[in-house]
A and B are shown apart, each in its own frame.
Chain A
Amino acid sequence: MYELKFKEKVCATCPSSDCLLKCQYMSFTGHPEAHGEMMKVVKGKDSRVLNECVTCYACEEYCTRGNHPFYLISERREEKGMFTAPRPITNQWINMTAMQGKYLAGDVKDKALSCCYIPDLGPLGSGEIFKDVASAGVFGAEFMCPAVHTHFARMSVIKERLPVVIENYRKLGVKEVICLHDECYGTLTSIASAYGMEVPFKPVYYMDYLFERMKELKDKIKPLGITVAYQRPCSNRLIPDKLPLVKKIFKLIGVKAPKRLYQDENALCCAEILRSVSGYKLADDVQKRNIDDMLKAGAEYCVFNCPACQSSLSEKVSKRGLKPVHIIDLCKMAIGEKGREAVL
């Protein structure tokens, strides 16, 4: 069984305790308290962190010393038999994402285009931008990153399933897997590495691919001239080095994303998981603050990276007058492949 490579010493000697002090959902009086609580987690003791963490993934980004505080919190919760979300919801996710041999795999050669287990990703990975790889799509639980189970503190599911997913890709004989789901790329890089799993192919982040393709299609781009707010997904916290790509793409297609309070490191969760974990009060509050902030920044569109965020927030942002759109569709709009109406 794979084990989390967590460096206790790195944590013990941490001068900042940013992992907890920067948390947007828990409050600490200062470094001593935050450090103390984190060390309780490290030592396997009870800590209020284990009860209060809402699983936003952000501490993976806040820790700049190469440790994995969020994975550790999830490990400890599972060890103690704790549930973040209600038990039936947790088990439903485990059942729903179980491999049943019902996957789809296209004409895969050197490259595969991973649609995870999210039907919405199929249509996104199409058209001029993806013309060279669209036929190499793969979809299904067999190719799904199991990172979602970190939300439910079921790292055992990840440890059991991720090697199988990696092996399924290996069996396809691919050299590269282009991940349309942010979380897949995060899983194949951050989680796999944290657990010492070898990935025998190169995971490619779709925004890297998108950026390169849009540069190639530069002649077709008609700058959109719109103002947007970007909804950063939780899994992007696992790959913070990829965050600048969003701004690069926006620039290329003539999209303005004015500075707002809840962006980058300070981004707010889409809150769907918060609703599941703690109920509507926190979720409603987070969503309201987030959308208020988008509107205050003058956004016309709310741009998504993750289909789950999009599903969770589309209706809500629409009701407040913002047009929801995935960043791939935004690029398709820029090259005239899609109209400027909201793409739900």
Chain B
Amino acid sequence: MSDILKSLIEIVGERGVSNAPEELWFYSRDPGVLAPHKPDYVVAPKTTEEVQKIVQLAGRENIPVVPMGNGMSLAGLVIPLKGGIVLDMKRMNKILEVNAMGRYAVLEGGTSQGMLKAYLQKNHPTLRHSLPDAPPTTTIAANVALHGQGRLTNQYGFNSDMVTGLEVVLPTGEICRIGSPSIGPYWFSKGPTLPDLSGLFLGWLGCTGIITKVGLKLFPNKKFRDVELFVTDRVDLVPTMLYKLTHLEILEDVNVWFQPKPLMFLGNYHITMFFTGDTEEEIEFKRKMIWDALQEFMDSKDGGFMSVQYMKSALLEMPGRTIADFADVPKGGGFEYSGPIALIEHYPKYAAKVVELAEKYNVLYASAARLISGGHCMMFSISFAFNRNDPAMMARVEKALTEAMTFALDMGGVPWKPNFKEQKMVMQRMEPNALKLLLMIKKNLDPQGIMNPGNWEVTP
């Protein structure tokens, strides 16, 4: 047995470490199209102190550490590009505190989205968090570390904007609290009015430290949730429609989607609008506001409301179980998407690009955009499904996604959860001083370059 393995067992016990071929094979890949790369060890800590000791060991031995939630980014963000230790954080899943009046929760980083949802439903039914559409196994820390979005993103911004404090193990092994918990017992602010240090970790994909605890904003859980679905075949009108809708300031979530299958969706762009209320009257009032906002498009016959009765339960379900269906359309268990953050006015151009790429690379597409912060921007997903048993199709999807990212950057978009290749594309275009600052931060926080190496690096 190697010394490293022995040391790891000393830290987390035998059931917390594996270097068996089975775990190494599994933890070397994610469900996307990027090539796998094996770690040397998979380690599952249960406490912050264990994480600290693992990082200190990695520092001494100069081996990489890749923190992982459920590995569902699809962009290969937890593929250990240079081997080393993959830290499966899911055993750190305690919900430590809910401050109901302060509307925040404090959780261990590996807590799953599903468990937080269930916990709030049971213990604090008037509160909710911004649940992403990703499967419920995905973790809170991973979601904020990659600037995830959720069902409240139109209303309140990126899920990372909802962080109210962090506990982080730095690449040098120190345990560090960020925001209000750094100076007192409360977890209500990640930065303001202090210098906001959370930016050193949020969006960094685990390259600057390991998030072991997260303070997270909770929001009112109204008694009723409802949904309306507007369709149009005029893509050029979509930005205006969205502008009118966001002007209402009543929508918790707005998604715009189009896909060629099943046939009923062909040729149309669908705007799904979610809204809430504590009374039937509030719901009806909001529904009328939504219809009134789009009446002009009905009058011109350019758009209309679909009856959502039969798909209502699927639309309102959180997380949406049917979303994963797309992966099985080519009967092959896979899809991956590029999700640039872009200006809403660019929607028509992005939409055209999706279809163009799908045709060019002969792959099946779907696209769903989510509005962010009441319409300042959107996440535009360019999704392609693939058959995992068809390497040629996977290669085509990879090329299509790279081209999609090039297009998004050309359009001034910002890539969401960029893979290591896309990060390079970003850095090549970044204003030199901004890049210098970025690399300086990385270098200072992680002088040995052991944290998720291969990501946010100039040379891999």
Residues of A within 8 A of B (CB): 83, 85-89, 91-92, 95-96, 98, 100, 272, 275-276, 278-280, 311-312, 315, 319
Contacts and interface: CB of A to CB of B under 8 A. Distances in A.
Contact of B307 (A86, A88, A95, A312): A312
B231 to A, nearest CB: 5
A244 B301 CA distance: 39
Interface of B: 231-233, 263-268, 280, 287-288, 291, 295, 297-298, 301-307, 309-310
A91 B269 CA distance: 12
Given A83-B301, A87-B233, A280-B288, A92 B306 contact: yes
Given A275-B305, A312-B307, A91 B267 contact: yes
B268 A86 contact: no
B232 A88 contact: yes
Given A279-B291, A280-B291, A312-B307, A88 B263 contact: no
Contacts of B287: 280
A260 B409 CA distance: 65
A22 to B, nearest CB: 27
A88 B267 contact: yes
Contact of B305 (A83, A276, A315, A319): A276
A275 B291 CA distance: 10
Give the interface centre of A92, A100, A311, A312 by most chain B CB atoms within 10 Å. Answer: A92
21 contacts: A85-B304, A86-B231, A86-B232, A86-B297, A86-B301, A86-B304, A87-B301, A89-B304, A91-B233, A91-B267, A92-B265, A92-B306, A95-B266, A272-B307, A276-B305, A276-B307, A279-B291, A280-B288, A280-B291, A311-B307, A312-B307
B267 A311 contact: no
A91 B231 CA distance: 11
Contacts of B304: 85-86, 88-89, 276
Contacts of A315: 309
Nearest to B299: A279
Contact of B268 (A83, A88, A311): A88
A98 B288 CA distance: 32
Contacts of B280: 319
Contacts of B291: 279-280
A95 B231 contact: no
A100 B307 contact: no
Contacts of A275: 305, 307
A89 B232 CA distance: 8
With a 10 A CB-CB cut-off, give which of B288, B291, B302, B307 has the most chain A CB atoms: B307
A85 B265 CA distance: 17
B303 A279 contact: no
A320 to B, nearest CB: 12
A112 B231 CA distance: 36
A85 B305 CA distance: 10
Contacts of A100: 263
A274 to B, nearest CB: 12
Contacts of A280: 287-288, 291
Contact of B231 (A89, A272, A311, A312): A89
A96 B267 CA distance: 12
- In the complex, which of the residues A85, A89, A311 has the most CB atoms of chain B within 10 Å of its own CB atom? A89
A98 B267 contact: no
A279 B232 CA distance: 15
